[in-house]
Amino acid sequence: MLDLLADELLLNITQYLPLKARLQFAATAHRNYRLSDDSLSLKKKLLEISAPLAVEPTLHSYHHYCKSRIIRFKQEIAFFQSRQNDVLAILGNTPFETLFLIKLLKKATEINFHFERSGDEKYIVQFDRVLNILNARLINRQLRKGLNTDNLELSCISRLPEHIITQHEEYFRTVRRCQFQDNCLETLPENIDCFEALQSLNLYDNPISFLPRCIGRLANLEYFYLSDGFLRKLPTEFFDLINLKWLALSNMQLEILPKDIEKLQALTWLYLGNNRIEILPKEIATLPKLGEIFLEHNALRICQSSEIKKFFKLRRIDWKNVLKTQRSLLHTKIESAEDRIDGLRCLALNLEEAPCYLPMRERARSSTGNIESLDLETTKLKERFEQLSFRS
């Protein structure tokens, strides 16, 4: 009886711990199998998977969570499949690296086959490790070209493994600009806050669905660009980035812009195109330096707060005309990139009539949430491997 009471008391205490601490507890506690909360034993397994834990998994949702991980892993493999030539170019186009890629993709196929047959969670861990190995190799190869603190560019990656950042921590602490656009990143690592000197972060064209809370500790960040993802809301800590000047969150799934945006008093440029925002927070009117705001392709309602209407009226902008333009754009088929830029110009609300205008370079892409089959098509790779000479 006393043992059961102690277990229940221990369980209640863990409820007040952060998720990461609870996971660590689940991995080390000697009696966690006796606790009534099944989620702790499930979370223990997730410690081995480098995946974002935005919501604490429960027994009911655990199997769905595992399946969603496999779907995500398939998307990463499909990404590398579509970039085979670029990946090989980064790896060096040598017979050794080509063979490495062939074996890795074949291993991924085998893991997927075994998981679909058994449903065993151990294959999720194996799949995750394979992808970590490939990404780590690609990142290390690109870092070997030269450690430029002014501008770091990484391409053909689907994740930023935490151990790679730890391995090169001294360098990452001095980087001022990161170009991670046109990749397959789902999130950022939990130790992204070690980029202490970072001023600009470009994440255009990445399927970001989750941002870690530690992003709010990038105190020097002034420019943040994100597009073509599945982010539904921003973490509260994001608005601790009080030095932000330019903020782009386009082609996402945002439904609400939090009132915490009032903290971004240095903001001069805000792009919110192609989201699901209906109501603008009145706190936007408190941003003294805001020069341009982009709102096309949202679900804005005509019934906005009086502060918002006054904000636009003082700048001689017809709010009803903005809504009319928005609705017409929503029903207009965009035939080319040039037409899209013209559309942006139509709805760019230049609040200060700034002489210089830099339209953003966007690509409207339709993203499929699920990939039913995993076809790696390694035949071309094998043919290429046979043509290569082993002589250096």
Q: Is residue 24 part of a domain?
A: no
Q: Is residue 335 part of a domain?
A: yes
Q: Is residue 184 part of a domain?
A: yes
| Residue 368's pLDDT band (cuts 50, 70, 90) | very low
| Residue 154's pLDDT band (cuts 50, 70, 90) | very high
Q: Is residue 355 part of a domain?
A: no
Q: Is residue 206 part of a domain?
A: yes
Please determine, for residue 186, whether its predicted confidence score (pLDDT) is greater than 90.
yes
Output the 3-class SS for 112-169: HHHHHHHCCCHHHHHHHHHHHHHHHHHHHHHHCCCCCCCCEECCCCCCCCHHHHHHCH
Return the half-sphere exposure (C-beta side, CA atoms, 13 A cut-off) of residue 168. 22
Per-residue pLDDT at 32: 44
**pLDDT mean over 316-339:** 49
Per-residue pLDDT at 294: 86
Per-residue pLDDT at 6: 54
CA distance 92 to 161: 21
| Residue 386's pLDDT band (cuts 50, 70, 90) | low
- Whether 40 and 15 have beta carbons less than 8 Å apart is answered as no
Residue 43: exposure state from Cβ atoms within 10 A (0-12, 13-18, ≥19): buried
- Whether 251 and 362 have beta carbons less than 8 Å apart is answered as yes
CA distance 75 to 81: 10
CA distance 243 to 263: 9
Please determine, for residue 359, whether its predicted confidence score (pLDDT) is greater than 60.
no
Q: Domain range spanning residue 291?
A: 150-350
Please determine, for residue 9, whether its predicted confidence score (pLDDT) is greater than 70.
no
285: CATH: 3.80.10.10
Better-scored residue on pLDDT, 4 or 127: 127
How confident is the model over 203-246, as pLDDT tens digits? 999 999 989 899 999 999 999 999 999 999 899 999 999 999 99
- Sheet containing 200-203: which strands, arranged edge to edge? 152-153, 177-179, 200-203, 223-227, 246-250, 269-271, 292-294, 348-350
Structure tokens at 186: 């789902």
Better-scored residue on pLDDT, 353 or 262: 262
If we measure between CA atoms, which residue out of 221, 222, 211 comes closest to residue 185?
211
Q: Is residue 37 part of a domain?
A: no
pTM of the predicted model as reported, rounded to 2 decimal places:
0.74
Angstrom distances, CA of residue 71 to CA of 60, 78, 112, 114, 312: 19, 11, 10, 15, 44
CA distance 120 to 145: 40
- Count of structural domains within the chain: 1
Q: Is residue 94 part of a domain?
A: no
Better-scored residue on pLDDT, 121 or 299: 299
Q: Is residue 385 part of a domain?
A: no
